[in-house]
C-alpha cells in the first residue's frame, strides 16, 4: 500500500511540472494546491526514507521510491519558490 501511495505522489508531482511546461503558466489557485501537495510529499517522503520496508516489499524498490519522492518534492518546493519570486502575478 505504501508503494502505491509513493508512486501516486511522485506522479502527482510530475503532473504539476508537466502542467506548468505545457500551459506555460499556472492558474492562480494551482500554485497553492501544488505547494500543499509538495509539503505533504516532503513529509511522506522523509517518513518513508526513515522507515523500513514491509515484510514482502523489496528494500531496494522501497528506498528508490522514497528517495525519488523526497527529491521531487524538494525540487518542487524550490521551483515554486522560483516561480513566486520571478512571476509574483501567479499568486
52: left (phi over 0), alpha (psi -120 to 50) or beta: beta
Instruction: Indicate the number of domains in the chain.
Output: 1
Whole-structure pTM value:
0.80
Residues 10-17: contacts with CB under 8 Å, at least 24 apart: 10/65, 10/68, 10/69, 10/72, 12/37, 12/41, 13/37, 13/38, 13/41, 13/69, 13/72, 13/73, 13/76, 14/72, 16/76, 17/76, 17/79
Q: Residue-wise pLDDT tens for the chain (91 aa)?
A: 778 888 888 888 888 888 877 876 666 667 888 889 899 999 998 998 888 877 777 888 888 888 999 999 999 999 889 888 887 776 6
pLDDT value for 88:
77
The domain of 65 spans 2-90
Amino acid at each position: 500500500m505504501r508503494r502505491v501511495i509513493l508512486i501516486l505522489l511522485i506522479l502527482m508531482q510530475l503532473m504539476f511540472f508537466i502542467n506548468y511546461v505545457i500551459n506555460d503558466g499556472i492558474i492562480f489557485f494551482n500554485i497553492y494546491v501544488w505547494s500543499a501537495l509538495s509539503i505533504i510529499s516532503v513529509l511522506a517522503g522523509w517518513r518513508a526514507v526513515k522507515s523500513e520496508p514491509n515484510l514482502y516489499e523489496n528494500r531496494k524498490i522501497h528506498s528508490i521510491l522514497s528517495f525519488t519522492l523526497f527529491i521531487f518534492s524538494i525540487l518542487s518546493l524550490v521551483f515554486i519558490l522560483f516561480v513566486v519570486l520571478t512571476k509574483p502575478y501567479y499568486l
